[in-house]
Structure 1
Amino acid sequence: MFTIIVLLTAVCGNLFISLFTLLKNPKSATNRLFFMFTFVIAVYLVSNYQINQQSTDLTAFFWVKLVMCIAALINIFFYLLVATFPKQRTNFTFLSYVIIFGTTFGLMLASLTGFIFISAKPYGGGGIPGPAMPLFLLHTVIFLGGGFWVLIKKFKHSFGIEKIQIKLFLLGAVFMFLSLLVTNLLFVLIFKTSAFIDLLPVYTLIFVTCISYAIIKHRFLDIRLVVARTVSYTLLIGLFGLFYAFLFAILSSLFISTSLELRTVGVSTTLALVMAFSFQPIRRLLEKITDSVFYKENYDINKLLYNLALIMASTLRLEEVTHGILNEILDKMRISKGAFILIEKDLVFDIKSEKYKQVPSFSEEEIKILDQSHSTLIFDELEESELKNILRKQELSVVAHLRTEGKQVGLLILGNKLSGDIFTEQDIRLIEILTPEAAIAIQNAKAYEEIRRFNITLQEEVNKATKDLQEANIKLQELDKLKDEFVSLASHELRTPMTAIKGSLSTILDGYTGQINASTKEFLTAAFNENDRLIRLVNNLLNISRIEAGRITFTITKIDLDKLIKEVKEILINLIGNALKFTHQGGVTVSVFEKDNMITTAVSDTGHGIAKEDQDLLFKKFSQVKGSYAKQSGGTGLGLYISKKMIEGMKGNIWLESEVGKGSTFYFSLPKAL
């Protein structure tokens, strides 16, 4: 019973794997030859089992001859499979195929005609070799031994994942064929026994296990789904067979008898209904269980790509984009660590990492070597080189390039999988889809970051300039205060002696000190006038000092207009004095009128007039207009400034209207009491 279970398991495993491998890619030479090879092994297992089940010499001899024919086919299919694996192509000429298949078919004919074995005994009693046995052994050495030689040669020159695939294939094949030669050939020829022939399915099971492991762990022929479904369906068939056989046996013993054929029909119908309703739920359960084994690290690639797209579209901050992408792929793909190496002008300007104890560091030379490759770097697929040493040193499994419009933006580096598995085809495909999109997102984030940093820098410069201006303004205010204090002090100190001088000059001019001649009087009069002018200047300076110090206050109340005119005497003296000074022909007119609850006084002249560009200067401290019409004017440039301050202090306004060549009119208005 055990032998049959092992045989059925081995045969089903070989047939399922061979069929689904072929359907996965029927155009692949490797897939087609793998199908032929595993199918022939399945047929060989069944034929080999039949040898020990025969009770006559004739039937035992038939099955021995058939087994030897199939063995010859195994030799050549193994050799051809090895020749195409893993590159999926062959370099054989048509003549080569003629020689390979011609010698094989000739050997099969020799076996069927009794030249390899001339007789066989029933129940595994062994057989007697014929004259063609050396040819069979030579055929085995050439094709089976040649296949192993090619496989070993490929193993030595391969690297990465290809080396692992060949290693697993080689280990399984060596064990299976050595065991097969020992039990099916040497024991039969030397010890004259076929007792160990039934162990052959065990050898093929080990071979199938090696191939399955390569599929699960190392993407061999990329048929992991096939293996998962093969296992689940094999278990399903086995469970159903055992369960329903057991159930049928129990129900039969209770209800079925030779006299009650109706009960037989009822039991069969019941079992059929149970099978119909329970098959799909059990199938789904077994598929779920096998998927949890074969796809324990599986994820929905479309859902993951969608989540990554949302992350890249939701923000322009470089930190959020890079760390968001890394966290998502590390979590869903169960990767130990990862980082974005951002490159600008062939130099690393930043590294954004996740799950690293400290930020990884790379030398310029290492980045240059990594950047030289234009394809995704997978550690297991690299041959030994400086490039692979860099990945080994940094404990990296994958390095993918971030490029946009032919420009290198950076690198995506990923560590090992937490499960210890290598990166699958699905993993690599997702990374290759992700990297161009990530490169664009990072490039946009970098541009945004540059603008943001520029704005921050600009704001800092504006704040600094504002602070400098504020400090300079404070210093100017302090200087202005010192100046006002100096002017006030100097004016007080100057007015006293000038008043004394004025009094002395006035006494001399009035004749109190005796008679003076006309020439002396003229000089003394000029000195008196200039002294008087200086006194007025000092008074103006003192007024400015009082105004700017806030020591002059204005009380708004009802007042008689005649009294008001007396109070604004200083203003009128300034305006009328300026009008007379600049009017050499015509005259000066003073008028008063009321408008909009304001009393307005106008002082008009027929002088030279004032140009537009000079008008704004008139009401500023120490300012005088330029031009030929002002050359004879003299003055300090304080009169209009003082007038403006006094008028504004009384809630009034002062302005002018002027046109060059037609004269000027100065207006000042004061509010009328309500």
Structure 2
Amino acid sequence: MSIVGLAFLLCGVLTSLILSAVLLVSQRRSRMNLWLSIVSGMSGLWTLGITLFLVHPDPDMSPWYVRGYYLAAIMIPFALYYFLHYFPYAIAFSRVEQSLVIFLLVLVSGAILTPGILLDIVPSGSGAKVHLYDFGYALYIAIFLFLALGSLFLALSSYKKVRRRGEVALARQARGILVIAVMALTGGMIFNLFLPALGNYELIWAGPPFAAIFATYIFYVIIQQGMFDVRAALARTVAYILLLVVAVSLYAAVLFASSEILFPDTKISRTQLIFYMAMAVVLMISARPLRRALDRFTHSVFYRSDYDSQKTLQEITKITASEIELRQLVRRSVNVLCQSIQPEYGSLFIFSSSGKTYHYGKNMSGKRMHHRYRRQLSIVEDRLGELPQLIRSNDLVSLEERKMLDGADAAVVVQLTLRGEHLGVLFLGERKSGERYNDDDMRLLRLATDELALAVQNALRFEEIQKFNQRLRDEVSRATRDLRRSNKQLHQLDEVKNDFLSIASHQLRTPLTSIKGYISMVLDGDAGEVTTAQRKLLQEAFISSQRMVALIEDFLNLSRLQTGRFSIDCQPTSIEAIVKEEVDILRNNATNRSLTLQVVIGKNIPEAMLIDKSKIRQVVMNLVDNAIYYSTPGKRIQVRLSREGGDVRFVVHDKGIGVPKSEQARLFTRFYRAGNAREKRPDGTGVGLYLAKRVIDEHGGSVIFRSTEGEGSTFGFILPIRLPDSDLKKSKKEKSS
């Protein structure tokens, strides 16, 4: 055997046996710890047997080594199967299941220990060799696989269960146990089950390390779960090992000294020496378990219904502190109380603030279950107020009340109340032992239900908050869906509106341009002499057509803005000429409304600057036209164009109706019109000022606006002067000269 293999085996022995000792001396009443200790201990003994057989294949001792490690190997899946019935949650054993597993273990143990059925040791050149019998070994493999697959099934079921309950950390550990168990069992079966069946015994040293890794990982999981104090457990383990060593040494010393005195001529063989040492260990180990077995027997005879009330309260406290979900809280609490007091059944009703009643039962199965439930529900709905908070049926004076509880099979009734609020009621049946509920039992129930009442109230509040949050999320989701649907419809309508504006504007602009042209030709005399009265009418028609063309242009620009086709085409243009032309066009309209239109042109206005001629003309026309329409007759409107440094400033000041202060912030938004403007001029569109601001912004300028309701307004803009290249060179020459 190689040094590497021997090192692996020795590490496996030490690891497994130390873990087994730690688990054995810590929380010895925990069945989970007990079975895990057996798994680890059997792994150590299995590894030890393989090590002794490989290192010292003596024909006399090899049968003990081989039968020992085969027996320890079958105990590993057996103990693992029992361990997984307690981790992470206890799973009930059926009698059939227990009987079958124990029968299989006894059967395979008998096959191992009986020569000629499973194996025999035959001498070989190197010392000893294992001979396996086909039928016996096939039986061994079948039982091993049955226990191993059963263990893996339990591990998988436990993982799915904790995952469904949302316990992320525990689910991760259960998954790890499942994976490590598959790895360990697979490695052990390959190297120590199947290869020996094929006659290959050279690699049996490779299986035990897998079992050591598995035991180590489960030990780590238990530590993570906080199931015992590691430092205290290690201290007890060291003390236990020292006690064992001292006791065995003393026993051996006394035994050998006595033998030398009593039998001085008798020579002790090596086999006898090993036997004496083994007996010392067995006697030492069996002393305390025997004492515990006797303690359990006397306790079951004289204190069969006794329990630790302090421990029960601690468990209830732990549950109420860790559980917020109502179902788990009451289920676990009722289970703890029933396990301690041992009633025939436990039945708990919980009352929610919404008027619902929840029911949780323990051991409620049987023929009388439905009858018992109906009677208890009747008491809850109609008669609960007549009973004290905590009462035994035997203590009731009223015969009617006693019959009422007897009809519901209730020996004890405990109401869960907190600051006057009724949260629930607990019904308990007679104790399984036949004894009456004593004062200690009632004290425990009062303290436990007081603590449970507070936890139930918190759980109910938490449940209400969760339902409210869910309802709120549903309402928000529904409202969001409605808003998205409405928003989509609005977008569709907006697109239809934009298409309509674009199409209608283009279709209207062509005939209006023709009408405007023909009116201009008539005014110029192309159709003959025009009288004064006719000229006045034609001029009104021309101005109206001009305004209609401007309005259509506004709608076209608005459509271009919505579709992303709005652009500024800057060309060298005289802004002074634009202002004068637009004022001349609108002067007749102002005169007809008894308004004075005054134009003031400042000095140093550039002859040409880079602007979009048509769009600036539209802005000037809109601002002057608005001043005319919203001014009071007899007032004066002043239009001023001036230069301020590197900017051109254009303002229109009127003495009109003004803009209310509360509506000024929204005045330049699309389709918005102030309330007094809608009354003054119902036919307005609300796009002129919006487009004016967009045009000025695209030119890099800013809008001027000041207004006082009832006193008038000032509208205008400031544009940065950008000169054409030729004018720019000319301006630089003039400055240098």
TM-score by length of 1: 0.49
Q: Which has the higher contact order (CA 8 A, sep 6+)?
A: 1
Larger Rg: 1
TM-score by length of 2: 0.45
